[in-house]
Amino acid sequence: MNRKQKRMLARIVLAAALLVGLAFLPATGALRFALYLVPYLIVGHDILLRAAKGIRNRQVFDENFLMAVATLGALALAVYNELAGQEGDYLEAIAVMLFYQIGELFQSYAVGRSRRDIGALMDIRPDTANLERDGKLETVDPDEVPVGSVIVVRPGEKVPIDGVIIEGRSSLDTSALTGESVPWGAGVGDEAVSGCVNLSHVLKLRTTREFGESTVSKILDLVENASSRKSRSENFISRFARAYTPAVCCGAMALAVLPPLVRMVGLGLSPNWGDWLYRALTFLVISCPCALVISIPLTFFAGLGGASREGILVKGSNYLEMLSEADCVAFDKTGTLTRGVFEVVAVHPEKNPLRGAVGNPQRGPGVPDRQPAYTDRPVRGAVLVGCVGCSQAGASCAACDAKASLPVGGGKRGTLPGGPDEAALLHLAAHVERYSTHPIANSLRRAYPNEADDCTVEDVEELAGLGVRARVNGKLVCVGNAAFMDTLGAAWHPCARAGTIIHIAIDGEYAGHIVISDVMKPHAKEAVAALKAAGVKRAVMLTGDAPAAAEPIAAELGIEEFYAGLLPADKVAKVEELLAEKAGRKGRVCFVGDGINDAPVLSRADVGIAMGAIGSDAAIEAADVVLMDDDPLKIAKAIRLSRRCLGIVRQNIAFSLGVKLACLALGALGIANMWLAVFADVGVMVLAVLNAIRAMFRI
Amino acid sequence: MKKVYKIEVDCANCANKMEDAAKKTPGVRDATVNFMTLKMTVDFEEGQDTAAVMRAVRENCKKVEEDCEIHL
Residue A615: what pLDDT?
52
Contact A230 B36 (CB under 8 A): no
**Which residue of chain A comes nearest to B3, CA vs CA?**
A225
| pLDDT score of A410 | 34
Tens digit of each residue's pLDDT (9 = 90 or more) over A284-307 = 888 777 777 888 888 998 998 888
| Residue A13 pLDDT greater than 80, yes or no | yes
The pLDDT value given to residue A643: 94
Check B32 against A230: CB less than 8 A apart.
Answer: yes
- Shortest Cα–Cα distance, B47 to chain A (Å): 24
Q: Is A107 on the interface with B (CB under 8 A)?
A: yes
Q: Is the model's pLDDT at A256 over the cut of 70? A: yes
Are A542 and A522 in contact by the 8 Å Cβ rule? The answer is no
| CB contact (8 A) between residue A227 and residue B34 | yes
**A185 sits in which H/E element:** strand A184-186
> CA nearest A422: which of A362, A491, A365?
A362
pLDDT of residue A336: 82
Q: Is the separation of the CB atoms in A464 and A436 below 8 Å?
A: no
B12 and A224 within 8 Å at the Cβ level: the answer is no
Which of A448-452, A662-666, B13-17 holds the top average pLDDT?
A662-666
| pLDDT tens digits, one per residue of B1-16 | 888 888 988 888 888 8
Q: Which residues of A are less than 8 Å from B21 in CB distance?
A: none
What pLDDT, on a 0 to 100 scale, did the predictor assign at position A590?
93
Is A162 one of the annotated active-site residues of the chain? no
pLDDT of residue A377: 35
Alpha-carbon gap, residue B43 to B28, rounded angstroms: 6
Distance from CA of A639 to the nearest CA of B (A): 23
Q: Are A288 and A245 in contact (CB under 8 A)?
A: yes
CA angle A599, A604, A609 (to 5 degrees): 60
Residues of A in contact with B39 (CB under 8 A): 224, 228
Q: Please report residues of B whose CB lies closer than 8 A to that of A57.
A: 63-64
Nearest Cα residue in chain B from A228: B34
Query: Is there a contact between B41 and A108 if contact means CB atoms under 8 Å apart?
Result: no
A260 near A650, Cβ under 8 Å?
Answer: no
- Side-chain-side CA neighbours of residue A350 (13 Å): 17
Mark out the alpha helices in A362-477 (DSSP H runs): 420-432, 439-447
What's the rounded mean pLDDT across residues A541-568? 84
Confidence band of A330 (pLDDT split at 50, 70, 90): very high
The three state secondary structure string of A54-81 is HHHCCCCCCHHHHHHHHHHHHHHHHHHH
Amino acid identity, position A481: N
Cβ within 8 Å of A, B 5-34: 10-13, 16, 19-20, 32, 34
CB of B50 within 8 Å of a chain A CB? The answer is no
Whether residue B1 lies within 8 A of chain A, CB to CB, comes out as: no
Per-residue pLDDT band at A596 (split at 50, 70, 90): low
Q: 3-state SS of chain B: helix, strand, coil percent to 5? A: 40, 30, 30
Interface A-B, measured as beta-carbon pairs within 8 A, has a size of: 64
pLDDT computed for residue A122 by the predictor: 66
Cβ pair B10:A230 closer than 8 A:
no
Q: Is the pLDDT of residue A342 over 80?
A: no
Quick check: A176 pLDDT over 80? Answer: no
Report d(CA A677, CA A696) in Å as an integer: 30
Chain A residue nearest residue B32, CA to CA = A228
* Arithmetic mean of pLDDT, A668-682: 86
E strand intervals along A199-245? 203-207
Residue among B12, B20, B67 whose CB faces A297 most closely? B12
Interface test with B, best of A294, A296, A317, A318 (most B CBs within 10 A): A294
Give the model confidence (pLDDT) of A129-147 as tens digits: 888 888 888 888 888 888 8
- pLDDT tens digits, A420-437: 677 788 888 888 887 777
CB contact under 8 A, B13 and A230: no
pLDDT at A335: 76
Least confident among A85-99, A141-155, A611-625, B25-39? A611-625
Angle ∠(A127,A130,A136) on CA atoms, nearest 5: 155
Q: Which of A229, A241, A298 sits opposite B16 (nearest CB)?
A: A241
Q: Are B39 and A224 in contact (CB < 8 Å)?
A: yes
**Can you list the pairs that A620-624 forms with residues at least 24 positions away whose Cβ atoms lie under 8 Å?**
A620/A218, A620/A222, A620/A595, A622/A595, A622/A598, A623/A315, A623/A595, A624/A314, A624/A315, A624/A316, A624/A319, A624/A322
| One-letter amino acid of A262 | V
**CA atoms in the 13 A half-sphere facing the CB of A449:** 11
Please provide the average confidence, as pLDDT, over all residues in chain A.
Answer: 80
Q: Which residue of B has its CA nearest to A109?
A: B10
* CA-based nearest residue to A460, from A477, A485, A480: A477
CATH of the domain at B66: 3.30.70.100
Residue with the bigger pLDDT between A579 and A370: it is A579
Q: Which residue of B has its CA nearest to A50?
A: B66
Distance CA A40, CA A446 (A): 80
Q: What is the DSSP letter of A406?
A: S
Confidence at residue A192, expressed as pLDDT on a 0 to 100 scale:
85
B52 touches chain A (CB under 8 A): no
Sheet holding A625-627, edge to edge: A312-314, A625-627, A607-611, A588-593, A326-332, A538-542, A561-563
- The one catalytic residue in A89, A162, A327, A332 is A332
What's the Cα-to-Cα distance from A564 to each of A183, A288, A333, A627, A631, rounded to whole Å? 37, 57, 10, 25, 23
Task: Say how many domains are in chain B.
Answer: 1
* Full set of structural domains in chain A with CATH: 340-517 (3.40.1110.10)
Q: What are the backbone dihedrals phi and psi of residue A306, each rounded to the nearest 5 degrees, phi first?
A: -60, -40
Report the relative pairing of strands A509-520 and A338-349 from DSSP bridges. antiparallel
Within an 8 Å CB–CB cutoff, is residue A297 touching chain B?
Answer: yes
DSSP string, A338-386: EEEEEEEEEEEE-SS--TTTS--GGG-TT----S----SSPPTT-----
* pLDDT above 90 coverage of chain A, percent: 13
Neighbours of A159 (CB within 10 A): 29
Higher-scoring residue by pLDDT: A215, A684: A684
Q: Confirm if A427 and A453 have CB atoms less than 8 A apart.
A: no
Identity of the residue numbered B38: L
User: What whole-number distance in Å separates Cα of residue A461 and Cα of residue A270?
Assistant: 110
pLDDT digits (tens, 9 = 90+) for A364-419: 333 333 334 333 333 333 333 333 333 333 333 333 333 333 333 333 333 334 46
Among the ranges given (A399-413, A513-527, A604-618, B22-36), the one the predictor scored with the smallest mean pLDDT = A399-413
Q: CA-nearest residue of chain B to A49?
A: B66
Confidence class of residue A443 from pLDDT cuts 50, 70 and 90?
Answer: confident
For residue A293, give the nearest of B4, B10, B12 by CB distance: B12
Range of the domain at B23: 2-71
Contacts of B11 in chain A (CB under 8 A): 104, 107-108, 290, 293-294
pLDDT confidence band for A271 (50 / 70 / 90): confident
A500 touches chain B (CB under 8 A): no
The type of residue at A417 is P
* Cβ atoms of A165 and A205 closer than 8 Å: yes
User: Which residue out of A45, A55, A288, A293 would a mutagenesis test of the B interface target, given it has the greatest number of B Cβ atoms within 10 Å?
Assistant: A293
pLDDT tens, A451-482? 777 778 888 887 777 788 888 888 888 888 88
Give the minimum alpha-carbon distance from A294 to chain B in angstroms, rounded to a whole number: 5
Residues 211-250 of chain A with CB under 8 A from chain B are 224-225, 227-230, 238, 241-242
In percent, the amount of chain B with pLDDT more than 70 equals 100
- Looking at residue A401, its pLDDT comes to 36
Contact check, Cβ <8 Å, B66/A54: yes
Give dist(CA A430, CA B55) in Å, integer.
69
Lowest mean pLDDT among A378-387, A532-541, A576-585: A378-387
**Nearest CB to A289; choose among B13, B32, B66:** B13
Cross-chain Cβ contact A57/B64 below 8 Å: yes
C-alpha R_g of chain B = 11
Q: What is the pLDDT of residue B29?
A: 92
For the cut 60, the answer to whether the pLDDT of residue A359 exceeds it is: no
pLDDT in the model for residue A407: 36
Question: Mutate which of B2, B9, B13 to disrupt the A interface (most A C-beta within 10 Å)?
Answer: B13
